[in-house]
């Protein structure tokens, strides 16, 4: 019985970790590189920026993060498209969720 329980626990662990860690390494690295450019290219900045993306990843699923970052980028565009994004409630909700995750990361890591 004990062996079965241990086997079940071990087999469940990778699935749980995959659910939590759904950000690709390249996306995390891209975030850290950009963050370090903005915060100084020091060892401390590396640690803070790595912490920051880990916090964001613990709050927002990767697909939602990508969508929110896309909305944020488009919303910064001048003209009709940028205004349309800025005035759409559902898109603003995405941005609010992203900004909250970023604020939490700022508090925890910097």
> Residue ranges of the domains in the chain?
20-109
Task: Reply yes or no on whether the pLDDT at 8 is more than 50.
Answer: no
Separation CA 99–CA 2 (nearest Å): 45
Mean pLDDT of 5-12: 41
Separation CA 57–CA 101 (nearest Å): 9
Task: Reply yes or no on whether the pLDDT at 32 is more than 80.
Answer: yes
What is Dmax (Cα atoms) for the chain? 66
State residue 19's pLDDT score. 55
Separation CA 43–CA 26 (nearest Å): 20
94, 71 Cβ separation under 8 angstroms:
yes
Separation CA 102–CA 50 (nearest Å): 13
Residues 51-106 have pLDDT tens digits of 999 999 999 999 999 999 998 888 777 777 667 766 677 888 999 999 999 999 99
State residue 88's pLDDT score. 74
pTM: 0.76
Task: Reply yes or no on whether the pLDDT at 4 is more than 60.
Answer: no
């Amino acid at each position: 019985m004990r062996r079965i329980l241990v086997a079940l626990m071990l087999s469940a662990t990778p699935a749980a970790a995959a659910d939590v860690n759904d950000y690709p390494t390249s996306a995390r690295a891209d975030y850290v590189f950009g963050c370090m450019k903005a915060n100084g290219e020091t060892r401390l900045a590396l640690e803070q920026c790595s912490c920051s993306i880990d916090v964001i990843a613990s709050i927002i699923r990767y697909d939602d993060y990508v969508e929110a970052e896309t909305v944020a980028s488009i919303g910064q565009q001048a003209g009709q498209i940028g205004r349309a994004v800025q005035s759409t409630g559902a898109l603003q909700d995405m941005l609010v969720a992203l900004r909250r995750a970023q604020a939490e990361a700022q508090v925890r890591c910097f």
